[in-house]
A and B are shown apart, each in its own frame.
Chain A
């Protein structure tokens, strides 16, 4: 991945799409403080096509976040490999953005400076970065809030800032770790619609972790079910709901949506029960 891939021009409207993610036989073991090995994920294999929106659903502690960390290159897999495009992940992957459940905004930077971070870190001149950040704040509906600090914003607004900060570099891959998990239901629906809108403009490949089945089905092209720990891929569902999806709340009442959601729940149910039984037994 040469430099021209890193500093891609910001997409105005039509993005140039995402990269293919190939995860093959991915295993991650950790050493616990007691000296035992803990297998977080075992033999995970899945593919995200370029520009595809792929959700990962699974019980708590099944290694969903671990999988994302391997794709981003923040951690190194114990076995197996991750390929982004034609490039084997080794160290931080280029063209990746991450969005966490806790908004990873700098509390000491203004909203504008927060959004500017992406381009600045890639060496974009400050004036250009400022322009770009202003444009992105406008796109997420936060024009006029440039000089506020994160603590002065509501949870939903902070998410918008995080979204602008994640998308401003026009990433090839967008990794989202329960980004809307902490939001109330109404704000969540609004943010989902916003995300879909922006994603359809830029079309990065998305790996989206969630506990919310409705969210997974409504947003995704593909839903991956993971087993309880050690995590591995149990089922993969292709969601054939037409795009653009339009309003997330309305699609929930469509027959095909309910059908798919039912199938996925059938697959997930056993895993959730098993994971729950384990934690209940341990407690």
Chain B
């Protein structure tokens, strides 16, 4: 940025006395700053316009009746933004009517399942990933089975878990953990494989034991990969918890969704989607903070700094 403005300043002013070159430099810096600001404003204008077009278009299409009777898009099936808002308000306001507790209770139940599943899946994934990644024999033996298990649709396991462990929290946690495990496991495994062999050789020559190699080289190096996987992993944890709840539960957002489905109430389903999106974004944010503090040694991403 600074070199750019310097260049402009030199190009703009003829080579001469110092004060003459000083002023255009300050002026062009201010110009560049205001240009950057304008760009930011326009980006926000675009973003808001896009939201208005999509939500407004949805509202319009569900309201406009070209033939006077049937709307262009039937809100009975596809909901309507204003009705979704009403459903959202209704979810948060009425507590006595819902037979399975207030919305906050249900959010807490689903969140709890997702978080526990996330933690369990992450821990097991990291441990097994590191173990198999650093042990050639183990990885050769177990490798094909992991691939097979990975290729079957694991979400189906939810049915088995519900049958085996009932309608409580545990089967939900288990399904979330299974989904999370594979994401984290493969990244941890790959992370160990990508360790800089020079670094390993270096510490081995300095007298490191295999344990020390793991502590000082393998694990920190694989951490980049593992943390990258956590963003997707939390999404999977939520999906696991929700699907298990839809399959059978006594409480949770998944239950609200499946009941709304039974009552032909798409607005409540959409309202639950919004709640889940907020939870996931919140979790993303927390994981981002964790990433930032654990990976502060990394060079700042240039493209990130310039384009956004």
**Chain A residues in contact with chain B, CB under 8 A?**
6, 72-74, 92-94, 96-98, 100, 102, 104, 106-110, 117-118, 121-122, 149, 151-152, 169, 175
Contact = CB atoms under 8 A, between A and B. Distances in A.
Name, among A92, A108, A110, the residue most crowded by chain B CB atoms within 10 Å (CB to CB): A108
19 contacts: A6-B207, A73-B205, A92-B205, A92-B207, A96-B205, A97-B206, A100-B201, A102-B198, A104-B199, A106-B220, A107-B297, A108-B223, A118-B206, A121-B207, A121-B208, A121-B212, A151-B298, A151-B299, A175-B205
Contacts of A6: 207
A6 to B, nearest CB: 7
Contacts of B298: 107, 151
B110 to A, nearest CB: 35
B292 interface: no
A100 to B, nearest CB: 5
Contacts of A149: 297
B107 interface: no
Interface in B191-227: 196, 198-199, 201-208, 212, 216-217, 220-221, 223
A121 B203 contact: yes
A149 B217 CA distance: 16
B198 A121 contact: no
Interface of B: 196, 198-199, 201-208, 212, 216-217, 220-221, 223, 295, 297-299
A98 B220 contact: no
A72 B297 contact: no
A108 B297 contact: yes
A92 B201 CA distance: 10
A6 B206 CA distance: 10
B205 A72 contact: yes
Nearest to B212: A121
Interface of chain A, helix or strand or loop or mixed?
Answer: loop
Given A97-B205, A108-B220, 16 more contacts: A72-B205, A94-B207, A98-B201, A98-B205, A100-B202, A106-B199, A106-B216, A106-B217, A117-B203, A117-B216, A121-B208, A121-B212, A122-B207, A151-B299, A169-B206, A175-B205
Given A107-B297, A107-B298, A92 B204 contact: yes
Contacts of A109: 297
A152 B300 CA distance: 10
A96 B201 CA distance: 12
Given A106-B217, A108-B220, A121 B199 contact: no
B231 to A, nearest CB: 20
B201 A104 contact: yes
Contacts of A97: 205-206
Contacts of B208: 121
Contact of A74 (B196, B204, B223): B204
A87 B267 CA distance: 79
Nearest to A106: B199
